[in-house]
Chains A and B, each alone.
Chain A
Amino acid sequence: MNELEQLRRAMRATERPYHDDLDLTVIMRDGRRLRRRRRLAGAGTAALVSVLLVGGIGLGVRWTRPSTPDQPPGSAVTGPAAPPSATPPPTRLITPPPTVGASGREFLGAVVGTGIRYGTDERVFYVVAVDLPEAPGVTIGLMAGRRTPAGELVDDIVINDVRGTDRRPGFHEIGYDDAAPSDPRPAVPTFGYFVGPATRIVGTAGGRQVEARLARWSTDPDLVVFWFDPVDLAPGVRLDGIVARDAEGRLL
């Protein structure tokens, strides 16, 4: 038997009865959630297309915004307000022009720049209006998108609560990128929002602690947008836990 055959045999001989380790109930529950999110994102895109076509703009799935420089003179610059020793890099909040109402999705407040680049595009987050008849307390979602050099915003993934209210204190839905391998868009960092006086958010994955980057929403400073740099946490990797702390280091 040569080495290659030995390797093949060894790879098969070390198989274990793994099927007992996987919880199919959890797998199917998470799969249904993922499917629902994809449909929501698809519905949002369709709504945007409708709005743009009614307006005679015809830009496909892109929502056109006036060109915005990377750091306009009037842009608000904010840091995560964490203690200096634990402060992630500052986050830029780019003040957009006045929001235009839309029957589908509506952008609310400032677009949060992350500094994460995909060629010339930048990963950004922005709050959008959502309408869930079964959850009247949920009116906003958080969109992960990309901003092109021309200032266009391209939607990727939206997350929103599906029950209760979107402003209850604490963590809300966390967005994991479960894109299909064939999806041409760049992977979305794990992201979400927290309502409360958080100045530091730390996730745990695979026994490691990962610091999130933070930015407060311009419309409601209690709403803290957070995301994990893909260098620190690969997109799609599930967090084992996540905590938020206030400026005094107290657990929220």
Chain B
Amino acid sequence: MARGDAEFVEFARSASGRLTHAAFLMTGNHHQAEDAAQTALVRTYASWSRIRDEDAYGYARTVLVNHLVDGWRRPIREYPTDDLPEQRRGDVADEVATRRWLLDILGTLSPRERAIVVLRHYFDLPEAQVARELGVSLGTVKSTGSRALQKLRATGTPQAQGTCR
């Protein structure tokens, strides 16, 4: 295996989890999320010699988001509770309730709102960078984020919904 390949393998192993989860948050579908993460990693590997010394993770994230944005015209199916967590981390019932609450919340948002929320609050990107990566204005990011937050407040927290024990 070439040196670059070894570096890519290491990168892919460390980045694939967050990329896939971000895609899941944007689509609500594990299968679609895995496909999107795989596509992002394929394209990242194809450009690896050029980007490996730069921000490879940022490149992969941008590819992922744009790939999903391109797919917004397709219907996005929701599978709110399609499977249980594979690892027991804390209380399973709490985790299932949190997952359901999260998908309910994200399900009230438009695809663009979802993408903005994920980039802003999952990847912790500054608003200006979110605007650049999505190709929208800073004002759009601010107003969309604000709308999403209003929906969030209207929906309440898991505890407020009574979904947690």
Contacts and interface: CB of A to CB of B under 8 A. Distances in A.
Contact of A234 (B62, B71, B101): B71
Interface in A186-233: 187, 206, 230-231
A17 B157 contact: no
Contact of A3 (B13, B46, B70, B152): B152
Given A8-B121, A178-B42, A15 B21 contact: yes
A105 to B, nearest CB: 22
Contact of B21 (A14, A28, A30): A14
- Chain B, interface size: which category? 35 or more
B8 interface: yes
Contacts of A31: 41-46, 48
B70 A187 contact: yes
A118 B47 CA distance: 27
Interface in B16-71: 16-18, 20-21, 25, 31-32, 34-35, 37-39, 41-48, 62-63, 66-67, 70-71
B45 A180 contact: no
A11 B74 contact: no
Given A7-B152, A11-B102, A11-B122, A19 B70 contact: no
A181 B66 contact: yes
B98 A14 contact: yes
Contact of A18 (B17, B105, B156, B157): B17
Interface in B59-89: 62-63, 66-67, 70-71, 73-74, 85-87, 89
Given A22-B12, A31-B42, A35-B46, A15 B34 contact: no
A167 B35 CA distance: 31
Contacts of B17: 15-19
A15 to B, nearest CB: 5
A24 to B, nearest CB: 6
Chain B interface mostly:
helix
A16 B20 CA distance: 9
A27 interface: yes
A237 B98 contact: no
B116 interface: no
B42 A18 contact: no
A27 B12 CA distance: 10
- Chain A, interface size: which category? 35 or more
Contacts of B149: 3-4
B42 A34 contact: yes
Contacts of A7: 102, 105, 117, 121, 152
Contacts of A16: 17, 21, 85-87
A22 B34 contact: yes
A21 interface: yes
Contact of B46 (A13, A19, A38, A235): A38
Contact of A11 (B8, B42, B67, B118): B118
B93 to A, nearest CB: 13
B34 A18 contact: yes
Q: Which 5 A-B pairs have the closest CB atoms?
A: A31-B45, A18-B20, A34-B46, A181-B66, A35-B46
10 contacts: A7-B102, A11-B121, A13-B89, A22-B12, A22-B20, A27-B41, A31-B41, A35-B45, A38-B46, A181-B66
Interface of B: 5, 8-9, 12-13, 16-18, 20-21, 25, 31-32, 34-35, 37-39, 41-48, 62-63, 66-67, 70-71, 73-74, 85-87, 89, 95, 98-99, 101-102, 105, 117-118, 121-122, 149, 152-153, 156-158
